[in-house]
A and B are shown apart, each in its own frame.
Chain A
């Protein structure tokens, strides 16, 4: 049997990932549990997984298509353009607060047993990701409804899909450790998300942003992801959004690096800090 060393030094990334893998069962149990709790004591139960994105799509196509009358020159059905932006935004705006609150919300477990703490934000994001996947299935039905067929670009869909999940995980990891030390962030994040909705091309396409602002706008990692998703699902829509996709990958990586460093440095001290 191997010796395990317990000391005050932060763990290395590789060693930590190995441990995450070792404790993956905890994540499975947590995900299943969150799903159960989310729909326990509801009349419709799991059907809410379908209802929520369905209602969202209905409201959004009404608001942006009918009321705001943003309908543009695209040959693509306008609701599909909107869904492509609203589905990822909805996921992001749910997953980030869930990830952020996951450590503080599980302090009673953290104080009693050991497991790599990163499992908590990851599991929290994963639960929202399930809803996210269901929403894309509805999107496919929407395509059928409009008689719309995506082009070859759809092969790139999984890449943007994955990037968004990675982005949510790393933002969740970062905010969750900050939240343990500075609970101020809890009050700040909902507000930031409200602003975020307007600087993200969820209800419109980034073509509407004036040229001189495009670079600054692309610093928001969601811009590249959403434009990339539109490109891959809607036959290349306005051409490949090279700049915003590049910026988005760079910012995602940067946030990921900061998040991992912060998390590894704080992981062992969480109980003392809380």
Chain B
């Protein structure tokens, strides 16, 4: 228990599929008030969908946990809850250390701002003070390989450039835990190699990773542990060198 850094406890996430009970405008809300119908968002509707159901997991310091599973199995939902973007419906997670997360492409870049300005905005949101960012700026630009475009608004960036810069920032804020959602599949082969090399180096420095990927090759290279999610439930979890990956591939 001593070096556990992420402790996920019975986490559930429910979504209402029918929006009947969710007032979308004042009019429907007022109507439901007049009719005396329940207007509460939390009213259980007929059609509900459990994106996650009773997921419990632990991640220790220095581990690299890969979440695997089909589309819609709840991997991204779990990462969003870990990153505090959405709250769990029930259950809780305990985290030790600072988290830097890269969810989908472009971790909250502002399109009107230049690459340079976004570096500082992003750094602040990842909890890294401006002075620190200034010191690491050159390393970030160097890693991202987009130095020619640092003074261009990021709305003109290609998705590859976007993700390169985003990864470079997240990699240089010295977070204890890095959360990556399908990030590696966007960059080109060269950048993927660079990231993999970087992650392996970070791992030796006891940094913890949680990632979602459909790329079995990078999972085999990076992950120390895998957790298989199926329809929102934890199907299997264990060391990456056990035969979970084979069973997942077979199914």
Q: Which residues of A line the B interface, CB within 8 A?
A: 1-8, 22-23, 25-26, 28-30, 33, 36-37, 40, 108-115, 181-185, 268-269, 271-273
Cα–Cα, bound, A26→B26 (Å): 32
Say yes or no: A268 contacts B124, CB within 8 Å. Answer: no
Residue pairs across A and B with CB atoms within 8 Å: the count is 111
Instruction: Determine if A114 and B90 form an interchain contact, defined as CB atoms under 8 angstroms apart.
Output: no
In the bound complex, how far is the Cα of B107 from the Cα of A225, in angstroms? 41
User: What count of chain B residues pass the 8 Å CB interface test?
Assistant: 47
Do the beta carbons of B87 and A109 come within 8 Å of each other? no
CB nearest to A10 among chain B residues: B87
Contact among B86, B96, B124 for A271, CB-based, below 8 A: B86
Stretch among B63-71, B77-85, B191-199, B224-232 lining the A interface: B77-85
Q: Are A8 and B101 in contact (CB under 8 A)?
A: no
B138 at the interface (CB under 8 A from A): no
B residues in contact with A114, CB < 8 Å: 83-85, 101, 125
List CB contacts (< 8 Å) of B88-126 with chain A: 88-97, 101, 103-104, 106-108, 110-113, 117, 120-122, 124-126
| Chain B nearest CB, measured from A129 CB (Å) | 20
Task: Please tell me if the beta carbons of A7 and B91 are within 8 angstroms of each other in the complex.
Answer: yes
B185 CB → nearest A CB, Å: 17
Indicate if B25 sits at the interface (CB-CB under 8 A).
yes
A2 / chain B contacts, CB cutoff of 8 Å: 96
Is there an interface contact between B94 and A6, defined as CB atoms closer than 8 Å?
A: yes
Q: Does B187 contact A (CB under 8 A)?
A: no
How far, in Å, is B26 (CB) from chain A's closest CB?
A: 4
CA separation between A111 and B126, bound complex, in Å?
14
CA separation between A174 and B172, bound complex, in Å? 36
Contact residue among B85, B87, B93, B95 (Cβ-Cβ distance under 8 Å from A111)? B85
Q: Contact at B96–A184, with CB atoms within 8 Å?
A: no
B92 touches A6 (CB 8 A): yes
B137 in contact (CB, < 8 A): no
Which one of B29, B82, B83, B90 lies within 8 Å of A113 (CB-CB)? B83
| Cα–Cα, bound, A186→B85 (Å) | 25
B107 cross-chain contacts in A, Cβ below 8 A: 112-113
